[in-house]
Amino acid sequence: MEPAYNSRRSRKIIAGPSLMRSSCGISSSKPRRSLDFESQRYVCQKCGEKFKKLEAIESHHLSTHAVTALSEGDSSKKIVELICQTSFLEPENKFGEIERILKIHNMQRTLVQFEDYREMVKLKANKLSKKHPRCLADGNELLRFYGSTVACSLGMENTSSLCTLEQCEVCQILRQGFFSKREANGCWGVFTSSTSKRAMESVELDKEKHSLRKALVVCRVIAGRVVKGLEKMREMEGQSSFDSVAGKADCHSDIEELYSLSPRALLPCFILIICKN
């Protein structure tokens, strides 16, 4: 078993965690429900509208406040462009231009699940004889990139409502969370990369579905204890002593490919980048 693995590139990107978390609308403490106890109603923190049921306020959020398109001059937009520039500003850019950048407003339930998963990873790490500082501190959180597809007009002309199209993976993720799947190499989990370029390369578009476009999701990921090598992962499959698997690493031994064994380990951080083909 390998120790908790720290990607130097990922840690460099997260150098300003307070700025990243404030951009997500997330404080360092565990999120609380938006519940007005006097009226026993759920209150939307965005517009103040009240609802009697949790399902109603979540439906309202997904149809009204799911994302915000970032405008020129927005500091968050500049941050995203900066961390993605190694891929998107290359002279030979094979992925196309950035069409729009969206800030994601996660539901409270999503934030709570993410923070609960972090606490579970920290508790597991604390029970081990060999302590891993990063796991104990924050669950070994990294900033990662997830390649996806979008089929609707999300974010265009201030459209913030999520669609229900099955082929629109972005809206499915924002509605239901990430999906675990078995990759071609046999590894099971949710694949993310330390570089936007590798994440985009992982997306294959169906040429017959002309409405599909590539999308890049910037995520916060609780990596936890990482086992290096897919062979070791296959040997230990079914065990719960590790939380993610490291695939390919770069020349600096940073984890370029990471497979999270739980979808709850990922939070679509605050921005969604949508690119033209």
Please give the pLDDT value at position 114.
96
The DSSP bridge partners found for residue 103 are 68, 271
CA dist., res. 277 & res. 261, Å (int) = 30
Report which residue type is found at 272.
L
Residue 192 exposed, middle or buried by CB count within 10 Å (0-12, 13-18, 19+): buried
Cα separation, 174 vs 242, whole angstroms: 26
Per-residue tens of pLDDT for the chain, all 277 residues? 445 545 444 444 444 444 455 545 443 344 444 444 444 588 888 888 888 888 898 888 888 888 988 888 888 888 888 887 665 545 555 556 788 889 999 988 899 999 999 999 999 999 988 888 999 999 999 999 999 999 888 888 777 889 989 889 999 999 999 988 766 555 678 999 998 888 888 888 766 666 788 899 999 999 999 888 655 555 555 556 789 888 876 544 578 899 999 999 999 986 657 766 5
pLDDT at residue 38 in the model: 45
CA–CA separation, 202 vs 205, rounded Å? 10
The answer to whether 174 and 215 are in contact (CB under 8 A) is: no
Q: What share of the chain is helix, strand, coil (3-state, %, to 5)?
A: 35, 25, 45
* Domains along the sequence of the chain with CATH: 8-275 (3.90.228.10)
